Amino acid sequence: MKSHRGTVTNFFPSFIDTGGPGTYSQLLIIKEYMTRMANDIRVDECDLYPADYFDIMGGLVTILLGYLKMNVDDAIDALVSVASAVFPPDAYEASDREENLNNLKEAVEALLEEKNVPLDMKMHDRRQPSTNCKIAIYAASSANLSHPAIFRTYTTRGTSLNPTIVEAICATMAVPSLFAPVKIGPRLREQSFVGGAVGTNNPTRELLKEAANVFGKDRRVAQILSIGAGRARLLALDHSGDTDSLGRLVKDMAADCGIVARELATRLHSVQAYLRLNVDRGMESIKMHDWASLGAIESHTSAYVEITTISEAIDASLRHILDRIGSATLGQISKQICVLL
């Protein structure tokens, strides 16, 4: 990976968004990057690891790509394995939240054991293999859903929680409608966490703030890559106005990553380093339990990356990633998005 004067940073900040089966679409987009890169630099695709090309990544699956340093194909296998254990094909949406959480925990533990990772390994741990890629994932305290808690694989100034990998993954996946809250910390001082702090289903904005704190406002940025889990259905209120309809609307609004994406697209329209990729057709009806519909997701994603403008944008993004030449600094970007850094 080439570096110019040690001042350029690649970001891969929004890998998870709302997640669910749409996460498969995100991995397929990254696979498109790795496939093209393998052809360009003439190496075997299985020897390419996204963690080698980004300085900071955020979102659940970046634990697989960054912390466990998998290639994309291995990450896809791991994702499907965990999802199948939590949401078997014969499951129904009204399944028990505690049972879902237990199934998730067991699936994550099985994955870590397969990779020879101790189950008590912390997010930031001395036993953690050295890597240049920093990973940050988000959850929300049940006591304050508007304030995102960040779990890091690195140290920063100030205090922060350092849960185990199992706890962190379960917490960031614990969507309240499907999973029971995850308790982290010693007895009497433990905190309960759920997935999806308001505004962090698409964590790009929060990660830009985090990056400025970690790397400094003067660090120039080569690439900010934000990848969505597929465009969600249009938010609308059922005319009946019943309680269930209102509840669904509130849940959808909280999870709508498009709000952040549209805001950043407006504020960063002049920043060449920023790119948002998100399959715009066919994903509207995909639900959390639809892990048996991955073939359809692959078809929609394939059609999306073959759109001429999208394909050209990916090629330009690849050049930014490989050359690591950035013009905008984190400080300049922070002014664009009006984030207090």
DSSP codes of every residue in 265-292: HHHTTT-TTEEEE---SS-TT--TT-GG
Question: What span, in angstroms and rounded, lies between the C-alpha atoms of 194 and 209?
Answer: 22
Question: What span, in angstroms and rounded, lies between the C-alpha atoms of 285 and 113?
Answer: 35
Chain mean pLDDT for the chain: 81
Cα distances from 96 to residues 86, 249, 252, in angstroms, run: 11, 22, 21
Express each pLDDT in 125-148 by its tens digit: 988 877 778 999 888 888 887 778
Going by their DSSP bridges, the two strands 144-152 and 220-227 should be labelled as unpaired
Q: Looking at residues 261-279, what average pLDDT do you find?
A: 81
Q: What pLDDT does 20 receive?
A: 79
Token pair listed for 89: 């094909």
pLDDT at 199 exceeding the cut of 60: no
Residue 254 pLDDT class (50, 70, 90 cuts): very low
Going by their DSSP bridges, the two strands 182-184 and 220-227 should be labelled as unpaired
Q: What pLDDT does 264 receive?
A: 74
Residue 92 pLDDT class (50, 70, 90 cuts): low
Q: What pLDDT does 147 receive?
A: 79
CB environment 124-163: b (16+ within 10 A), e (fewer): bbeeeeeeebbbbbbbbbeeeeeebbbbbbeeeeeeebbb
Question: What span, in angstroms and rounded, lies between the C-alpha atoms of 109 and 102?
Answer: 11
pLDDT at 287 exceeding the cut of 90: no
Lowest mean pLDDT among 7-16, 37-46, 178-187, 203-212: 7-16
pLDDT at 19 exceeding the cut of 80: no
For the chain, what percent of residues have pLDDT higher than 70? 80
Q: Residue 248: phi, psi to the nearest 5?
A: -65, -40
Q: Looking at residues 57-63, what average pLDDT do you find?
A: 81
Token pair listed for 286: 């995909």
Count of CB atoms situated within 10 Å of the CB of 307? 12
Q: What pLDDT does 177 receive?
A: 78
Helices marked H in 194-307 — which ranges? 204-215, 243-255, 257-267, 294-305
201, 17 contact by CB (below 8 A) = yes
Token pair listed for 23: 């996460």
Q: What pLDDT does 114 receive?
A: 94
Q: What is the pTM of this model?
A: 0.85
Q: Where are the domains of the chain?
A: 8-103+202-338
pLDDT at 279 exceeding the cut of 90: yes
Token pair listed for 36: 């093209």
Q: What pLDDT does 201 receive?
A: 58
Task: Give the residues across from 224 on adjacent strands.
Answer: 11, 274
Cα distances from 124 to residues 127, 134, 271, in angstroms, run: 9, 10, 32
21, 285 contact by CB (below 8 A) = no
Lowest mean pLDDT among 130-144, 164-178, 259-273: 259-273
pLDDT at 73 exceeding the cut of 90: yes
Express each pLDDT in 204-217 by its tens digit: 778 888 888 889 88
Residue 320, SS3 per DSSP: helix
Token pair listed for 51: 């963690």
Superfamily of domain 8-103+202-338: Cytosolic phospholipase A2 catalytic domain (3.40.1090.10)
pLDDT at 285 exceeding the cut of 70: yes
